[in-house]
Amino acid sequence: MSKYSKENERITKIFKWTVIITVLLIIALTIYSCAAGQQAEELKEPEPLIIEIPERETEGSVTVYTSDGAVYGFYGDIKIINDGTDGNQITIELYGWLVGEYQHGEPEYKEEKAL
């Protein structure tokens, strides 16, 4: 083989590998761009957010513990005038009835005597 043919063979090998690498890069970039396009489509279609807010309840109960140990239970309609978030005192109006009064703690248990 002559020097010219060896040089020509070397250039042919380099060109061949350059073409192979270029084709592989084009295939890889095509696959990547297709995958990125699918992800972009998935991001464009968000699901609608559904928030269910229940109606406010106006009836309830309040238990008041006094400093002398009495406990008062109230049941009825409760109207909150000010919840204190504006820095002022809490104001609540109660329309209903007093359930009862009893002392703090558990009631005393007395054992029954057997007959």
pLDDT in tens, 14-67: 999 999 999 999 999 988 887 777 665 666 667 888 999 988 888 888 888 887
Residues of the chain above pLDDT 90, percent: 30
Number of Cβ within a 10 Å radius of residue 47:
5
DSSP letter assigned to residue 32:
H
Highest mean pLDDT out of 16-20, 71-75, 95-99: 16-20
Spatial separation of the C-alpha atoms in residues 93 and 80, rounded to whole Å: 6
Q: What is the pLDDT of residue 85?
A: 92
Q: What is the pLDDT of residue 69?
A: 77
Q: What is the pLDDT of residue 91?
A: 93
Q: What is the pLDDT of residue 115?
A: 54
CB 81 within 8 A of CB 91: yes
Mean model confidence pLDDT for the chain: 81
Q: What is the pLDDT of residue 24?
A: 95
